[in-house]
Amino acid sequence: MEKSKKIKKLQVIKFEVAKGQTFEFNGNTKTEHDRVKGIFLRLSKSEALQGATLRVWIDDTEIIPDDTEVALLHHSDDMGIEDVAFDVDEKAKNSNVRIIYKDNSDNLAVDDSYFVRVYLLTEQDK
Average pLDDT over residues 75-85: 72
* Position 50 in a domain: yes
CA-derived radius of gyration, the chain: 15
Residue 46: CB atoms within 10 A of its CB come to 13
* Position 118 in a domain: yes
Residue 6: CB atoms within 10 A of its CB come to 14
- Residue 120's CATH number: 2.60.120
Q: Read off the pLDDT band of 47 (50, 70, 90).
A: confident
* Position 97 in a domain: yes
Question: Where is 82: in which H helix or E strand?
Answer: helix 81-84
* Position 1 in a domain: no
Burial 18-35 (b: 16+ CB within 10 A, else e): ebeeeeeeeeebeeebbb
Residue 46 pLDDT more than 90? no
* Position 92 in a domain: yes
Residue 74 pLDDT more than 70? yes
Residue ranges making up the domain that contains 119: 6-125
* Position 24 in a domain: yes
The whole-number pLDDT of residue 111 equals 59
* Position 29 in a domain: yes
Average pLDDT over residues 43-64: 91
* Position 48 in a domain: yes
**Count of domains forming the chain:** 1
pTM, two decimal places: 0.88
Could you say which DSSP state residue 74 is in? B
Burial 56-82 (b: 16+ CB within 10 A, else e): bbbbeeebbeeebebeebbbeeeeeee
